[in-house]
């Protein structure tokens, strides 16, 4: 067992046994153990600070996808987070985010993107189930990393009709979510994220009988309803329970969605839950 592992063992048992005896059994000095403990605590604090910074940076990037390192640094400073530009660059690289405004480079085999008109145009009211759907992806913090949640919401009663959680924010995350929907005519609105502007996504919508609609570039208010849902999910569940793994996050999200769809009343729905509203209208 290496030094680090032995120190971890001493730390785990230090609440029940004297440190001096544990160090003797582990064949390490007390001074060496406490030096490791202090450096380990600092490292953990640094990881937590970086995770919080990443959460802020993802939020900023979502609203301002054209921000590069300099403007990201300024945006963080305006939120009271003073960060060296080198650290901003490192964290942006770890999050795989970059400014969307950059010199175009030729890429063999690159498929052209598809951009739909803003058909929804913030007309969020719907009189028929399945007539207007909205979709989006958000990040979910799990310990010091992130996973990604994709949902589809029906604007008729704000019911979440489909969702997928994944470690990867890729096209499959989005298509797996859309595949859960029934094949019926309707409108599906999203932002202009890279997944939603591919030919594969457009072909899937066509196969499902759905008409595509895109928000204006960098305008989160064009998809405000699903953004509001993500805010409720995080403040009412995830920020309170702090999942540490993908499976913990999956369990907590599934639990909240059952509550949200079946029990959480909304003033817009005459103080009924989405499911109660749908069933009452059908009855």
Per-residue pLDDT of the chain (283 residues; tens, 9 = 90+): 678 788 888 888 888 888 888 888 888 888 888 887 888 777 778 888 888 888 888 888 887 887 889 989 998 988 888 899 999 999 998 888 877 654 444 444 445 589 999 999 999 999 999 999 999 999 999 988 899 999 999 999 999 999 999 999 999 999 999 999 999 999 999 999 989 999 999 999 999 999 999 999 878 889 999 999 999 999 999 989 999 999 999 999 999 999 999 999 999 999 999 999 999 876 5
Q: What are phi and psi of 146, to 5 degrees?
A: -135, 145
Per-residue tokens: 251: 């369990």
* Of the candidates 271, 245, 268, 243, the residue with the CA atom closest to the CA atom of residue 256: 243
For the domain spanning 132-282, the CATH number is 3.30.420.10
Q: What is the pLDDT of residue 15?
A: 81
Residue spans of the domains in the chain: they are 3-95, 132-282
Helix ranges (H only) for the chain are: 3-13, 19-26, 30-63, 69-78, 85-95, 171-179, 199-208, 224-233, 239-241, 246-262, 274-282
Long-range contacts of 55-63 (CB under 8 A, 24+ apart): 55/139, 55/141, 56/81, 57/88, 57/91, 57/92, 57/95, 57/97, 58/95, 58/97, 58/139, 58/146, 61/95, 61/97, 62/220, 63/218, 63/220
Write the DSSP string, 111-172: PPP------STT----SSTTSEEEEEEEEEEETTEEEEEEEEEETTTTEEEEEEEES--SHH
Pairing status of strand 145-154 against strand 159-166: antiparallel
Q: Which residues pair with 132 in a beta bridge?
A: 187
The helix or strand, by DSSP H or E, that contains position 187, with its residue range, turns out to be: strand 186-190
Q: What is the pLDDT of residue 206?
A: 96
pTM of the model: 0.68
Cα–Cα dist 94/85, whole Å? 14
């Amino acid at each position: 067992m290496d030094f680090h592992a032995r120190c971890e063992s001493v730390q785990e048992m230090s609440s029940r046994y004297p440190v001096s005896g544990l160090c003797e059994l582990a064949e390490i000095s007390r001074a060496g153990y406490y030096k490791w403990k202090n450096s380990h605590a600092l490292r953990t604090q640094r990881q937590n600070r970086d995770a919080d910074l990443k959460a802020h940076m993802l939020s900023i990037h979502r609203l301002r996808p054209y921000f590069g390192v300099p403007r990201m640094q300024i945006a963080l400073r305006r939120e009271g987070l003073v960060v060296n530009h080198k650290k901003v660059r490192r964290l942006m690289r770890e999050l795989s985010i970059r400014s969307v405004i950059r010199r175009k480079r030729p890429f063999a085999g690159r498929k052209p993107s598809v951009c739909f008109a803003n058909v929804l145009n913030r007309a969020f009211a719907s009189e028929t189930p399945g007539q207007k759907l909205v979709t989006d992806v958000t990040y979910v913090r799990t310990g010091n990393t992130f996973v990604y949640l994709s949902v589809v919401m029906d604007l008729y009663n704000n019911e979440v009709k489909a969702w997928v959680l994944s470690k990867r924010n890729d096209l499959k995350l989005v298509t797996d979510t859309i595949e859960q929907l029934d094949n019926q005519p309707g409108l599906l609105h999203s932002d202009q994220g890279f997944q939603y502007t591919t030919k594969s996504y457009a072909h899937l919508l066509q196969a499902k009988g759905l008409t595509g609609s895109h928000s204006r570039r960098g305008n989160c208010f064009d998809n405000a309803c699903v953004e509001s849902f993500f805010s409720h999910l995080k403040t009412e569940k995830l920020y309170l329970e702090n999942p540490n793994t993908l499976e913990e996050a999956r369990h907590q999200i599934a639990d909240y969605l059952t509550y949200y769809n079946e029990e959480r009343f909304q003033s817009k729905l005459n103080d009924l839950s989405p499911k109660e509203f749908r069933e009452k209208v059908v009855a």
